[in-house]
Amino acid sequence: MYEPTSNRRMGVTRRYEHNNKKHYVNIQYDELMLPRVVKIFSDTKQGTEYPDICHELSMNITERLQTRKNPTRALKVMAAAAPRRSDGYPCTIQGLVVDELIKSYYLED
């Protein structure tokens, strides 16, 4: 299991729009530059239910990435389980984040 050795980690933050909501996704990496921590922030009003849902999704993805030596398998399992529209686009922000991480660990375009 992954355990951080420092309180400072390399990371990247990107903005995504999903279901007409703005999201900021922060990915933090271990010393091998593998993604280990995911934080999803919503641009919606604080105190509503949606930011708490984004926090729960972040914790779910992070837990799965940290319990695997190589996160690629965990990402593929999450992508297969993500609900999708008929065109294959993910229905949830979690599915979008997982798809983006599969394309590139560093959220490159």
Distance CA 68, CA 21 (A): 31
pLDDT digits (tens, 9 = 90+) for 44-98: 988 899 999 999 999 999 999 999 888 999 999 999 999 999 999 999 999 999 9
DSSP annotation of 90 reads B
Domains of the chain by start residue, with CATH: 11-103 (3.30.390)
Distance CA 97, CA 93 (A): 6
- pTM, two decimal places: 0.89
Residue 4 has pLDDT above 80, yes or no: no
